[in-house]
Structure 1
Amino acid sequence: MPLPTEQSTPAQELATLVESLAAAPGPRYAALARRIVELLTTGRLPVGSRLPAERELATALGLSRVTVASAYRELRATGHATTRHGSGTVAELPDAGTAWGAPSTDPSVLDLAHAALEAAPQLIPAYREALTLLPAVAAGHGYATGGLPELRAAIADRYTAHGLPTDPDQVLVTAGTGDATDVVLETLLQPGDRVLVEHPTYPGALGAVEAHGGRCLPVPLDADDPDALIAAAHLAARQSSPRLAFLMPDFSNPTGARLTAAGRRRLAATLWQQGVLTVVDEVSAELYLDGGPLPPFAAGLPDAAAVTVSGLSKAVWGGLRIGWARADAALVTQLGDVLRRRQMSVGALDQLAATALVRDLDAVLDQRRATLRERRDLLRAELARRLPDWTVPCPAGGLSLWCTLPPGVGSAALTAAAAPLGLLLAEGRAFGTGHAFDDHLRLPFTLPPDQLLRAVELLVQAEAAVRGGGDRTAPPRRLAVV
């Protein structure tokens, strides 16, 4: 049942969400606190909502006021609520304290914490072509403020061909998609501004929002019903007035969820009508493995309604640090001013190579999709064979599986058990706010087949260790998980 549109949460509405506590184990106050935490971490109770007065909620639930007061005290103790002067008790999410660091450079480590492919075959030829063009560029000062004209034109042409008419002056070249997102947030966010995010979502986006003083407003995303995000986002926008929204409408990381063509039009219009500027991450938008392309999220919107960020890290190679932001020309000028304070230009040779790759991106993507489809199916089949208690949906695109772990196995414990075996994992909590998603694990299918098979073998050993038994014959090793 949805919450009302007011900022505060009426007692009867919260009582309906809490449901019966009669069968809950332990004291009633602890059961009530646990249920409110669950509502928070799944996004059904928006962060920043004012909780009902103790007496009102006690009446609605048929509990004593002391029980509700004890539950609120428990929530404040765990960081899930604060008392604000004039606002009563307000629901919050504490910092999960989870780490999601850089990919491992140790060749003996299997890295399933990061979704990154080996370089596309077209990478080296693109650099060879770039070297032949470099002398003409080298005759000048070498600074390409905002990006080389030929690269900006190539990116603009690709947007136009996909149904989003774009001029080169609407494109800003950055050092990767993450850099583009960071520039947008630095330009537009003020401390305390709320940013609507899918829940779960990409850890780098959560960290970037926090780094720029923003506060994430999590909205639940269901991979089985992605378009349900529309109503939830509309409600959250009305309740909390976020400054921005950060969305991945195509193969959201980590769930692989994809909005329908009609769904993305409705969500784009809803956020624009609510005065929310949408930052659209399309880095995986063309990595569809089943089905085909859908219209860009920003198609049909005014250029001022959305900023699209993307890059070549997923399609070509993570080591090629070329990304971009696409927006209306006036905002691109603002973004460029912020970028220039940090760096005068992205490397010219990389931009020349990127120009060739963007012009040939359809051929690159055809090969990438075939590779990813094969690896996705292999990993799912091996997980079904070796870990049949895991629930492993089949995403229609993207780079990873979002697995539901069986009871008794948490992703934090599994990550810790896998590290000494030489398997690097990212625990599920890294993809959410607060302490959500410990019952999930993201597994990229980006490694070569033999490494994926070995990774599943190590997962079997790690799960056995978590459960307190099983095969422990693999030699332990120390591994710094960053």
Structure 2
Amino acid sequence: MRSNLDELTARLGRWSSGRGPLYLLLAVRLRALIDDGELPPGSPLPPERTLARRLAVGRGTVVAAYDQLQQEGKVTRRQGSGTRVSPAAVPATRASAGMAVNPLHQHLLGLPDGVALLSCVAPDEPPPALIEAYAQAAAELAAVRHDIGYHPAGHPALREALAAYYRARGVPTSPGEILVTNGAQQALTLLAAVFLSPGDTVLTEPVTYPGALETFREAAARFRTAAVMPESGPQERGTAEHGPQEARPGEAGAAGPGPAGFGAALAARPALAYLVPTGQNPTGSVMPSLVRRRLAGLAAEYDVPLIDDEVPAELCFSGEPPPPLCSFHPGEQIITIGSLSKIVWGGLRVGWVRAAEPVVSRLARLRAVHDLGGDVLSQFAAARLLARSGELRRERAAVLRRRHDHLLAELARALPSWSVEPALGGQTVWVRLPHGDADAFAQVALRHRVAIPPGRAFDPLGGHGDFVRLPFLFPEEELTDAVNRLAAAWHDYDGSGSARPLPALIL
């Protein structure tokens, strides 16, 4: 599980991006965490040197921040027992105490402050096609009669459109095999509630989508990891070096690399397995069809529910998205999730699950407890957009491929010591730092007004501390500016003076 230091670092968010002395900025953020109940009375704060090292500041900064909080009565400090939140610091609420914090979500929750958010990967404005689809959907809504608008499984029109979408991809699908959700994140939450009990094991790749990890953590699951492919690179994900990892206390271990290793992990019959085969987040890799067939067969053989996260699947640079895992096996074990957040816009909160009818029925009953159905107008618009998915895919993939190439060229120019593999799809590349700690470097980057997620956020076992994820979905001039900021931050962090001269930053 994530360490207390990792938790606190994530909760601090963009603490250093304001103006003023660093010790005051740190004290302000810690005070807010105490007042909001996220650091409850009696909870220990990290030792000064430990926190300073993680935040990439001098020990004096942490000492001064702790002293400030002690003067305010927020913390107590005793030699030999460290620094703890004061019992007198009664929080406004205790509801959030102990909740897992995804550093990516923390950036979303933060107020706008001029920081370039390289932590978020979704289109930053609604495309014209979405505006057109809503106009058409409004006319369709005006004609609705005898419909109260509650559809826990999704509006019939969108369920049929999604079934047709999969049929066009060669997967026989009926509307009864479709559940519409408020985005793919809700789909993951429902699936975790149906398939996981506290202490169950979830099998994932060594690095994967953090939103899924947080959902499984919220269900009190344990993790086992196995790389899908034995060699590094976008075509063959995972490496012998980064695949097997030691388990943390309370977690299952990691299996060896390759389909055989993942198959061996499936043979242990975890409660649930999770993969992002196309445009993988964070590596941008694409799983070969032969491997897809093998893994789908193994999941069916060992009767393990396997989630195929296809949210970034439409962003495959080679053209048509590869076949989903469910195309290789028709049984109940393969569950596909998707959404329009990457190909259209994150603000269109429409996602879905494609699964066997008994699974969809269970999910629909659970959703009805929490949510009687999604917004009907958005579902009408989504059905219109699905009819244009080929056109939208080609346009979006062409833009992303151009920006991907630009980002890699800029990294080679300004940060030649960083190692990065080209992506085959998706919206991100996985970058290895030549040395140092990515969490500490991310703190320095914040002081240069750019937010990047460190590698540990993507690893369920807390490894990959020398990696960062970078997106390439922004316009070229913004990518250049972001790389320049990162290069200046790396110069400060590295201290070698080896960075090349850079143009002035655009702040």
Question: For residues 229 and 298 of structure 1, do their structure 2 counterparts lie closer, same or farther at Cα, with a shift above 3 Å needed?
Answer: farther
- Between 96-105 and 427-436, the greater mean CA deviation after superposition: 96-105
Structure 1 letter corresponding to 2:286: R
Preserved contact between residue 307 and residue 325 of structure 1 (Cα < 8 Å): yes
Residue of structure 2 in register with 1:368 after alignment: 396
Q: Describe how 1:248-287 pairs up with structure 2 within 5 A.
A: 248-287=276-315
Question: For residues 172 and 98 of structure 1, do their structure 2 counterparts lie closer, same or farther at Cα, with a shift above 3 Å needed?
Answer: closer
- Between 221-230 and 330-339, the greater mean CA deviation after superposition: 221-230
Q: Deviation string for 1:423-450 (max 9, x for gaps)? A: 1111111000233111111101111211
Residue of structure 1 in register with 2:212 after alignment: 205
Looking at structure 2, the residues matched to 140 and 444 of structure 1 have their Cα atoms a distance apart, in angstroms, of 42
Question: Which of residues 93, 99, 103 in structure 1 aligns to 2:103?
Answer: 99
Instruction: Say whether 1:112 aligns with 2:141.
Output: no
Q: Describe how 1:77-96 pairs up with structure 2 within 5 A.
A: none
Looking at structure 2, the residues matched to 242 and 196 of structure 1 have their Cα atoms a distance apart, in angstroms, of 6
Residue of structure 1 in register with 2:486 after alignment: 459
Structure 2 letter corresponding to 1:380: L
Instruction: Say whether 1:316 aligns with 2:335.
Output: no
Structure 2 letter corresponding to 1:256: G
Q: Describe how 1:52-451 pairs up with structure 2 within 5 A.
A: 99-101=103-105, 102-103=107-108, 106=112, 108-118=114-124, 119-137=126-144, 140-221=147-228, 223-224=232-233, 225-226=236-237, 229-238=258-267, 240-290=268-318, 292-407=320-435, 409-451=436-478
Q: Deviation string for 1:335-394 (max 9, x for gaps)? A: 001111111010111111111111111111111011101110000000011101111111
Preserved contact between residue 448 and residue 486 of structure 2 (Cα < 8 Å): no
For the aligned residue pairs, the C-alpha RMSD in angstroms reads: 2.4
Looking at structure 1, the residues matched to 326 and 388 of structure 2 have their Cα atoms a distance apart, in angstroms, of 23
- Between 282-291 and 327-336, the greater mean CA deviation after superposition: 282-291
The number of residues matched between the two structures is 381
**Equivalent position SS for 2:315:** coil
Looking at structure 1, the residues matched to 189 and 374 of structure 2 have their Cα atoms a distance apart, in angstroms, of 15
Residue of structure 1 in register with 2:88 after alignment: none
Looking at structure 2, the residues matched to 361 and 105 of structure 1 have their Cα atoms a distance apart, in angstroms, of 33
**Equivalent position SS for 1:131:** helix
Preserved contact between residue 324 and residue 336 of structure 2 (Cα < 8 Å): no
Preserved contact between residue 278 and residue 285 of structure 2 (Cα < 8 Å): yes
Aligned-residue sequence identity (percent) comes to: 36
TM-aligned CA deviation for residue 221 of structure 1: 4.7
Looking at structure 1, the residues matched to 264 and 117 of structure 2 have their Cα atoms a distance apart, in angstroms, of 38
The alignment's TM-score, normalised by the length of structure 2, stands at 0.71
Preserved contact between residue 300 and residue 331 of structure 2 (Cα < 8 Å): no
Question: For residues 433 and 293 of structure 1, do their structure 2 counterparts lie closer, same or farther at Cα, with a shift above 3 Å needed?
Answer: closer
**Equivalent position SS for 1:304:** coil
Q: Deviation string for 1:87-120 (max 9, x for gaps)? A: xxxxxxxx99873324366272211111111323
TM-aligned CA deviation for residue 295 of structure 1: 1.9
TM-aligned CA deviation for residue 468 of structure 1: 3.1
Structure 2 letter corresponding to 1:323: G
Structure 2 letter corresponding to 1:422: R
- Between 293-302 and 177-186, the greater mean CA deviation after superposition: 293-302
The alignment's TM-score, normalised by the length of structure 1, stands at 0.75
**Equivalent position SS for 2:128:** coil
Preserved contact between residue 299 and residue 306 of structure 2 (Cα < 8 Å): yes
Looking at structure 2, the residues matched to 291 and 366 of structure 1 have their Cα atoms a distance apart, in angstroms, of 7
**Equivalent position SS for 2:226:** strand
Preserved contact between residue 249 and residue 280 of structure 1 (Cα < 8 Å): yes
TM-aligned CA deviation for residue 230 of structure 1: 1.2
Structure 2 letter corresponding to 1:303: G
**Equivalent position SS for 2:346:** coil
Preserved contact between residue 120 and residue 364 of structure 1 (Cα < 8 Å): no
